[in-house]
């Protein structure tokens, strides 16, 4: 009896000893020596502003890239960030509205991630997404994980998956210096993804080459379209003023083709502020006068990001131009840049084609050549 | 030394010696600190100035998007949805002219309720030398020196670093923006948009006003924008029906002249009650 008890105790002790103990979570045996990474701005872009609490490192970017492409992020392990943000579509998905697990359809269209780091206005609390609900790029990746129409998962369980993963604990250690797997959090995962996203910068289009290289890359049609885009500023007396540049603004040293504001571009009629079906920016700010406003997107790579608008209602760029040329629908806060643009309403079919041709000149044809943006798996 | 420490001192005892040395060191250090502090230049006393901007229409708080009767035959009503502008070279005069701030940005776009409109929007100017000031001035718009810079010269925390505040075609910041709608006599509505911004397009405003800046205190000056004067001032009215839009333009162009009129009127519409 005594012998049996001793053997049983021995077995129990052995099992207990083999069980995962806090000591096995320790990561301090892995070197933490992150290499600082500096974003090299494309020609015509300023230095990118990086938040002080998330300095970029080679290891952080690598971790972010892995997480971005890993379906581990979704409940049924079918969907990753890259499912909706596909490189060959300038990190959009070609759908009117994003699809998540089990093909569930989300509320709005997937936004491009190209040059997303330049969308940050530091002291503004509404920056990212169609409705601007996230202040920082670091805030954004947290939401899709728990959205039932996107990844349909929960962070506590995802963190457990990451903690038990054969590679991620090491990568979190190398990126952020955590000493224990239990220090893996959604915030660190999100920081890593934000670091990766800040590397997705593109400015190698025909327009850029025309601007910076002594050679004509844009076609005559694209140049005519550019003059229409600029309007009066093109200083071409025979050119009409399509007045696109007021919202899709740029300068030689900040050639974003976006002013990063929110506006109502006349998509829907609304008799009052409360009549907008999708309240957009107003939903995020709580200010009813901002209902129906959405993020003005960059026109860079716009030819790759169809369909267009927050709900993907326009299949082609020509449909977009047709919409603007119609003057848009009336509502209390429709952008006066649109409603006062009288010559925009007189564009001929041929002029509309010219505008569309210019928009194609903003496509970076080297996007898919970036090996460092592709899946690491 | 013995006078200070009396009988307690035993010069042959090493521990006591250490004690004396420590005490002496402390005294010397204290003296040095006191001397150092007395030699330090005294920081001049300064205070702050808060400038509150409020907009009114016919003496009523101007609520964004609310309609206001113009008391004219045409247009009959007007609503304003955007009112924002740069301020530069904010200066005040006491015994001499002091520049309080080089540039700031005022936006009244958020005054969407009566309470918010009554509150207005403000800027706080700090570290102003104390004194009795009798003059306050600024430019509505940006100076030529600032206009020679570009958004990429500034961080996004500065209004000068925002792409949307810059008009690359004219190599200029957009000095002022006023937008809204009118209802015409025939009951139709139309929009207006006045964006002023070409190099040198600013309006100097000067206010003969007195305020006292005291040490660590905040004085307040309230500037009221009488919006009706922006549009319908009899000396320089804007034909808001026919000249309803300008993004400025090449020097001398119709768009340029209308923009110039708009920023001039904006400056003139500012008063201290």
Distance CA A329, CA A339 (A): 9
Q: Which residues of B touch A207 (CB under 8 A)?
A: none
Count of alpha carbons within 13 Å of B54, Cβ hemisphere only?
23
Query: pLDDT value at position B17?
Result: 53
Residue of A150, A60, A138 lying closest to A100 (CA atoms) = A150
- Is residue B213 within 8 A of residue B219, CB to CB? The reply is yes
What pLDDT band is residue B10 in, cutting at 50, 70 and 90? Answer: very low
Query: pLDDT value at position A5?
Result: 58
Residue A214: is it exposed, middle or buried by C-beta count within 10 angstroms (0-12/13-18/19+)? exposed
- In degrees and rounded to multiples of 5, residue B166 shows phi and psi of -125, 145
Given CB atoms, is B130 within the 8 Å cutoff of chain A? no
Q: What is the mean pLDDT of chain B?
A: 88
Distances from the Cα of A185 to the Cαs of A59, A160, A230, A319, B119, in angstroms?
16, 9, 47, 44, 43
Given CB atoms, is B173 within the 8 Å cutoff of chain A? no
What pLDDT band is residue B199 in, cutting at 50, 70 and 90? Answer: confident
Distance CA A159, CA A165 (A): 10
Secondary structure of residue B270 in the 3-state scheme: strand
Given CB atoms, is B46 within the 8 Å cutoff of chain A? no
Q: Which residues of B touch A117 (CB under 8 A)?
A: none
Q: How far is A353 from chain B (nearest CA, A)?
A: 23
- Is the pLDDT reported for residue B9 higher than 50? no
- Is residue B160 within 8 A of residue B110, CB to CB? The reply is no
- Is the pLDDT reported for residue A295 higher than 60? yes
Query: pLDDT digit string (tens) for B53-99?
Result: 999 999 999 999 999 999 999 999 999 999 999 999 999 999 999 99
Mean pLDDT of A204-219: 87
- Is the pLDDT reported for residue A113 higher than 70? yes
Helices A168-176 and A58-69, axial angle in degrees (round to 10): 150
Given CB atoms, is A243 within the 8 Å cutoff of chain B? yes
Neighbours of B155 (CB within 10 A): 15
Read out DSSP for A244-285?
GGGTS--BTTB--S----EEB-S-S--SSGGG-SS-BHHHHH
Given CB atoms, is A258 within the 8 Å cutoff of chain B? yes
Read out DSSP for A286-354?
--GGGTTBEEPPP-TTGGGS-SBTTTT-BSSHHHHHHHHHTT----TTB-HHHHT-TGGGG--HHHHHH
Judge: A340–B151 Cβ closer than 8 Å, yes or no.
Answer: no
Query: pLDDT value at position A375?
Result: 97
What pLDDT band is residue B249 in, cutting at 50, 70 and 90? Answer: confident
ipTM for the predicted complex: 0.85
Query: pLDDT value at position B34?
Result: 54
Given CB atoms, is B85 within the 8 Å cutoff of chain A? no
Query: pLDDT digit string (tens) for B108-166?
Result: 999 999 999 999 999 999 999 999 999 999 999 999 999 999 999 999 999 999 988 99
Listed by number, the residues of chain B in 135-154 with a beta carbon closer than 8 Å to a beta carbon of chain A are 150-152
Judge: A235–B193 Cβ closer than 8 Å, yes or no.
Answer: no
Query: pLDDT value at position B14?
Result: 46
- Is the pLDDT reported for residue B170 higher than 90? no
Q: Which residue of B has its CA nearest to A341?
A: B245
- Is the pLDDT reported for residue A214 higher than 60? yes
What pLDDT band is residue B39 in, cutting at 50, 70 and 90? Answer: low
Distance CA A144, CA A125 (A): 19
Q: Which residues of B touch A45 (CB under 8 A)?
A: 152
Q: How far is A142 from chain B (nearest CA, A)?
A: 24
What pLDDT band is residue B235 in, cutting at 50, 70 and 90? Answer: confident
Query: pLDDT value at position B26?
Result: 57
Mean pLDDT of A7-34: 67
Query: pLDDT value at position A234?
Result: 73
Select from A132, A228, A251 the residue whose CB has the most chain B CBs within 10 Å, as the one to mutate to test that interface: A251
Residue owning tokens 């808060």: B50
Q: Which residues of A touch B112 (CB under 8 A)?
A: 287-289
Given CB atoms, is A76 within the 8 Å cutoff of chain B? no
> In chain B, what is the straight-line distance between the N-terminal and C-terminal CA atoms, in Å?
72
Residue of A322, A334, A335, A294 lying closest to A107 (CA atoms) = A294
Judge: B180–A336 Cβ closer than 8 Å, yes or no.
Answer: yes
Q: Kind and range of the H or E element at B183? A: strand B176-183
- Its sign, for the CA torsion B186, B189, B190, B196, is positive
Beta strand B121-129 pairing with B46-57: antiparallel
What pLDDT band is residue B2 in, cutting at 50, 70 and 90? Answer: very low
Residue owning tokens 């890239």: A65
Q: Which residues of A touch B179 (CB under 8 A)?
A: 336
Following CA atoms B49, B55, B59, B62 in sequence, which dihedral angle do they give, to the nearest 10 degrees? -140
| Residue pairs between chains A and B whose CB atoms are closer than 8 Å | 91
Query: pLDDT value at position B92?
Result: 97
Judge: A121–B169 Cβ closer than 8 Å, yes or no.
Answer: no
What pLDDT band is residue A17 in, cutting at 50, 70 and 90? Answer: very low
Distance CA A197, CA A194 (A): 5
């Amino acid at each position: 009896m005594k012998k049996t008890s001793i053997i049983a105790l021995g077995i129990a002790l052995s099992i207990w000893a083999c069980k995962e103990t806090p000591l096995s979570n320790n990561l301090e045996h892995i070197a933490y020596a992150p290499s600082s990474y500096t974003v090299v701005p494309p020609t015509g872009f300023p230095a990118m502003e990086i938040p002080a609490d998330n300095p970029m490192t080679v290891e952080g970017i690598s971790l972010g890239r892995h997480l971005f492409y890993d379906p581990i992020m979704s409940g049924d392990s079918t969907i990753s960030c890259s499912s909706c943000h596909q490189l060959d579509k300038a990190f959009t998905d070609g759908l009117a509205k994003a699809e998540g697990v089990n093909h569930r359809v989300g509320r709005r269209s997937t936004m491009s991630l190209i040059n997303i780091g330049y969308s940050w206005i530091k002291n503004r609390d509404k920056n990212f997404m169609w409705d601007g609900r996230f202040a920082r790029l670091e805030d954004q990746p947290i939401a899709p994980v728990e959205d039932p129409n996107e990844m349909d998962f929960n962070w506590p369980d995802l963190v457990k998956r990451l903690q038990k993963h054969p590679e991620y604990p090491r990568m979190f250690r190398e990126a952020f210096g955590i000493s224990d797997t239990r220090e893996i959090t959604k915030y660190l995962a999100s920081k890593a993804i934000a670091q990766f996203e800040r590397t997705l910068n593109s400015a190698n289009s025909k327009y850029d080459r025309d601007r910076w290289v002594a050679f004509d890359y844009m076609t005559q049609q694209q140049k005519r379209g550019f003059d229409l885009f600029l309007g009066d500023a093109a200083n071409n007396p025979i050119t009409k003023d399509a007045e696109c540049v007021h919202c899709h603004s740029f300068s030689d040293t900040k050639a974003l083709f976006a002013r990063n504001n929110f506006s109502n571009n006349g998509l829907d009629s609304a008799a009052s502020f409360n009549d907008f079906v999708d309240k957009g920016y107003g939903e995020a700010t709580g200010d009813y006068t901002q209902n129906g406003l959405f993020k003005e997107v960059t026109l860079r790579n716009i030819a790759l990001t169809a369909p267009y608008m927050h709900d993907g209602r326009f299949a082609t760029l020509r449909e977009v131009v047709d919409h603007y040329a119609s003057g848009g629908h009336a509502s209390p806060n429709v952008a006066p840049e649109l409603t006062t643009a009288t010559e925009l309403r007189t564009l001929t079919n041929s002029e509309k084609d010219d505008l569309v041709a210019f928009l194609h000149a903003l496509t970076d044809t080297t996007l898919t050549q970036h090996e460092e943006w592709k899946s690491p798996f | 030394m013995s006078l200070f420490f009396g009988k307690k001192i035993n010069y042959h005892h090493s521990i006591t010696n250490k004690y004396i040395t420590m005490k002496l060191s402390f005294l010397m250090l204290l003296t040095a600190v006191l001397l150092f502090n007395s030699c330090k230049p005294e920081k001049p006393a300064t205070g702050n100035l808060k400038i509150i901007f409020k907009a009114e229409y016919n003496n009523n708080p101007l609520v964004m998007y609310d309609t206001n009767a113009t008391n004219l035959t045409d247009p009959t009503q007007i609503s304003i949805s955007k009112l924002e502008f740069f301020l530069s070279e904010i200066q005040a005069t006491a015994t001499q002219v002091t520049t309080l701030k080089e540039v700031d940005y005022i936006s009244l776009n958020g005054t969407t309720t009566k309470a918010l409109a009554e509150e207005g929007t403000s800027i706080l100017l700090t570290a102003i030398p104390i004194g009795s000031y009798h003059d306050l001035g600024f430019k509505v718009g940006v100076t030529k020196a600032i206009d020679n810079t570009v958004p990429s010269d500034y961080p996004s925390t500065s209004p000068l670093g925002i792409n949307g505040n810059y008009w690359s075609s004219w190599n200029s910041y957009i000095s002022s923006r006023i937008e809204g709608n009118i209802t015409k006599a025939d009951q139709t509505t139309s929009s207006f948009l006045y964006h002023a911004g070409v190099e040198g397009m600013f309006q100097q405003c000067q206010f003969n006003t007195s305020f006292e800046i005291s040490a660590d205190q905040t004085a307040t000056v309230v500037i009221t924008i009488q919006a009706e004067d922006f549009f319908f001032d009899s000396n320089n009215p804007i034909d808001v029906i026919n000249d309803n839009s300008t993004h400025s333009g090449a020097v001398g162009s119709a768009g340029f002249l209308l923009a110039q009129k708009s920023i001039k009127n904006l400056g003139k519409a500012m008063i201290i009650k």
